[in-house]
Amino acid sequence: MNFNEYPIDSLMYITNRPDVVFTHGKGSWIYDNNGKRYLDFIQGWAVNSLGHCNDGMIEALNSQAKLLINPSPAFYNEPMAKLAGLLTQHSCFDKVFFANSGAEANEGAIKLARKWGKKFKDGAFEIITFDHSFHGRTIATMSASGKPGWDTIYAPQVPGFPKADLNDIASVEKLISAKTVAVMLEPIQGEGGVIPATREFMQQLRELTKKHNLLLIVDEVQSGCGRAGALFAHQLSGIEPDIMTLGKGIGGGVPLAALLSKAEIAVFEAGDQGGTYNGNPLMTAVGYSVISQLTAPGFLEGVQARGEYLRAKLLELSEERGFKGERGEGLLRALLLGKDIGNQIVEKARDMQPDGVLLNAARPNLLRFMPALNVTTEEIDQMLAMLRSVLDSL
């Protein structure tokens, strides 16, 4: 179909989108309405952990669709229980609540911390978060986020989210008061530009929160589910948080998210938390397939190896072109360009012929790479060759 034949004008404007309609995809490749293919290093924004239309996910979706789509969240269902069991087996957490988006999982984490504060900490409710953090687009998670401009766009904000500086423990300590109930952070700030919290900072945070009887909440919506080369990014620091949220990669592309906590923190009472689609079997069946594949022997070692390969190749490119290096963990990486040419590169890379490449500039002075976790080294080489030809044309 021609682009102009799609009723795109019926869609509410929220952002600028290119004049193509994507129609299908497989693995690391996605195709548009003109049949043009693109090597996808965005993958739905770090969502398609196993690439486009993964066979295991398709099988899970098809077989569950024939069995049961929605018994109501007021009842148990099989995939919901199986996925919760798999997540507690592979993490330090004991309890799981499923949601539909990262923002919703984070809303749940905020509620759980406030409930815990009410019960055990004299009504303490403040959650210390970080400048440049991103926790979602609901009013509370926007208030928790440290994205510039988000304090005014839908003002007034939800109160109770003082901001500290990432990797600066003194800035956190300074904000602690009798009102503080928790500290919440992304182990790797994704939208902020792929900025990892250091291992030392994560350990200092764990120590500080223990000392003051505060909860430590990790938002692993972007960094979790194998993206950082470990099943969960906080594991790279050898710490155990009290609460973790997952989104994006857990569903491999379908709307699924999760809130996990230690048993003693899981203080919701009947009616405190819910949502029509929580734990719905269609999505949790897919999540079970995704997490089973991520935890299969050798898979995460492969992510680490390909992450290391991408790291080395980006460093090589950086030296060759006089850029400012690279950073990240696993297959969430950024190339630091040193100048604001990111958006220009993204557009040129997408519009290349005959094949395009999908990249992202999380900030104007860097490129963020978030390929499928099963991307091949050949596809990484292909992406770099295409990126080089874009750079040549600038």
Binding residues for pyridoxal 5'-phosphate: 102-103, 134, 219-222, 276
Closest separation between CB of residue 305 and ligand PLP, Å?
25
Query: Token pair for residue 19?
Result: 């004049």
User: Which two tokens mark 286?
Assistant: 């897919």
CB of 7 to ligand PLP, least distance (A): 25
Site membership for ligand PLP, residue 360 (CB under 6 A): no
Please check whether residue 326 is in contact with residue 311, taking contact to mean a CB–CB distance below 8 angstroms: yes
190 binds ligand PLP (CB under 6 A): yes
Q: Does 146 bind ligand PLP (CB under 6 A)?
A: no
CB 158 within 8 A of CB 125: no
| Residue 191: CB minimum distance to ligand PLP, A | 5
Residue 103 binds ligand PLP, judged by CB under 6 A? yes
Given a contact cutoff of 8 angstroms between Cβ atoms, the answer to whether 227 and 46 are in contact is yes
What is the number of alpha carbons within 13 Å of residue 263 lying toward its C-beta? 2
Query: Which of these, 322, 327, 351, lies nearest to 338 by C-alpha position?
Result: 322
Nearer to ligand PLP, 160 or 247 (CB): 247
The rounded distance, in Å, linking the Cα atoms of 280 and 129 is 31
* Cβ nearer to ligand PLP, comparing 40 with 191: 191
Name which of 106, 266, 134, 257 is nearest 192 in CA terms. 134
- Our finding on whether 125 is near ligand PLP (CB under 6 A) is no
In a 13 Å sphere around the CA of 231, the CA atoms on its Cβ side amount to 17
CB nearer to ligand PLP: give 93 or 323.
93
Report the residue from 102, 146, 229, 342 that binds ligand PLP according to the rule CB under 6 A.
Answer: 102
Binding-site string for ligand PLP from residue 244 to residue 263, where x marks contact by CB under 6 A and - marks none: ---x----------------
Mark the binding-site residues for N(2)-acetyl-L-ornithine, compressed into ranges: 137
- Contact call for residues 230 and 266 (beta carbons, < 8 A): no
Q: Is 193 in the site for ligand PLP (CB under 6 A)?
A: no
107 binding ligand PLP? (CB under 6 A): no
**In residues, how long is the chain?**
394
As given in the structure block, the two tokens for residue 312 are 């080395």
Give whichever of 253 and 356 is closer to ligand PLP, judged by the CB atom: 253
Compute the distance between CA of residue 215 and CA of residue 261 in angstroms, rounded to an integer.
10
Nearest-CB residue to ligand PLP? Answer: 102
Interface residues with ligand PLP (CB under 6 A) are 101-103, 106, 134-136, 186, 190-191, 219, 221-222, 247
